[in-house]
Chains A and B, each alone.
Chain A
Amino acid sequence: MVEVIIDEDKCVKCRECVVVCPTEVIVEEDNKPVVKDANRCIGCLSCSYICRSDAITHKDIYLEKKLVYDPVIEEKILKFI
Chain B
Amino acid sequence: MKIATLKLASCSGCHVALLDTHEKVLEIGENIVFSPILIDTKEMPECDVVLVEGAVRTAEELELLEKAREKAKTLVAFGTCSALGGISSLGNIYSKEQILERVYGKQPEDVPEFLDLALPIDEYVEVDYYLPGCAPPPELIADFLTAIIKGEKPKSIEHPVCAECGREVKYIEIDGIKRFGIPQEGICLLSQGFLCQGSVTRGGCKALCTKAGIPCRGCRGPTPKIMRSYCRDYLNEITERLKRITGYEMHPDDIASIYAHVFGSNMKNKPVSMIKALMRSGRHG
Is A77 a contact partner of B227 (Cβ separation < 8 A)? yes
Is the CB of A30 closer than 8 A to any CB of chain B?
A: no
Is the CB of A13 closer than 8 A to any CB of chain B?
A: yes
Contact of A76 among B165, B168, B227 (CB under 8 A): B227
Known contacts A79-B128, A81-B144, A10 near B169 by CB under 8 Å: no
CB distance from A52 to the nearest CB of B (A): 4
Known contacts A12-B169, A52-B162, A81-B131, A74 near B154 by CB under 8 Å: no
Residue in chain B with minimal CB distance to A67: B229
Is the CB of A66 closer than 8 A to any CB of chain B?
A: yes
Q: Is the interface of B mostly helix, strand, loop or mixed?
A: mixed
CA distance A55 to B163 in the complex (A): 7
- Which bracket fits the contact residues of B? 35 or more
Is B244 a contact partner of A77 (Cβ separation < 8 A)? no
- Which parts of A9-56 form the interface with B (CB within 8 Å)? 9-10, 12-16, 19, 49, 52-55
Is the CB of B160 closer than 8 A to any CB of chain A?
A: yes
Q: What's the A-B contact tally at a CB cutoff of 8 Å?
A: 80
Is the CB of B192 closer than 8 A to any CB of chain A?
A: no
Contact of A52 among B130, B160, B202 (CB under 8 A): B160
Is the CB of B70 closer than 8 A to any CB of chain A?
A: no
- List the B side residues contacting A54 at CB < 8 Å: 158-160, 163, 223, 225
Is B130 a contact partner of A79 (Cβ separation < 8 A)? yes
Is B130 a contact partner of A14 (Cβ separation < 8 A)? no
CB distance from A64 to the nearest CB of B (A): 11
Known contacts A12-B188, A14-B188, A81-B130, A68 near B159 by CB under 8 Å: no
- List the A side residues contacting B159 at CB < 8 Å: 10, 53-54
Residue in chain A with minimal CB distance to B141: A81
- Give a binary string over B150-162; 1 marks a CB under 8 Å from any A CB, 0 the rest: 0000111111101
Is B130 a contact partner of A80 (Cβ separation < 8 A)? yes
- List the B side residues contacting A78 at CB < 8 Å: 156
CA distance A7 to B163 in the complex (A): 9
Which of B122, B160, B167, B221: most chain A CB closer than 10 A? B160
CA distance A74 to B228 in the complex (A): 7
- List the A side residues contacting B223 at CB < 8 Å: 54
- List the B side residues contacting A70 at CB < 8 Å: 228
Contact of A12 among B154, B168, B225 (CB under 8 A): B168
Residue in chain B with minimal CB distance to A49: B225
CB distance from B14 to the nearest CB of A (A): 13
Is A12 a contact partner of B144 (Cβ separation < 8 A)? no
CB distance from B80 to the nearest CB of A (A): 11
CA distance A8 to B169 in the complex (A): 14
A-B CB contact pairs (8 Å), 24 listed = A9-B163, A10-B159, A12-B162, A12-B169, A13-B169, A16-B244, A19-B244, A49-B225, A52-B241, A53-B199, A54-B159, A54-B225, A66-B228, A67-B229, A68-B228, A68-B230, A70-B228, A74-B228, A77-B224, A77-B227, A77-B228, A79-B130, A80-B221, A81-B155
Q: Beyond the given A53-B159, A70-B228, could you list 10 further A-B residue pairs with CB under 8 A, ordered by the A residue number?
A: A9-B163, A12-B165, A15-B169, A53-B165, A66-B228, A77-B227, A77-B228, A79-B129, A81-B131, A81-B156
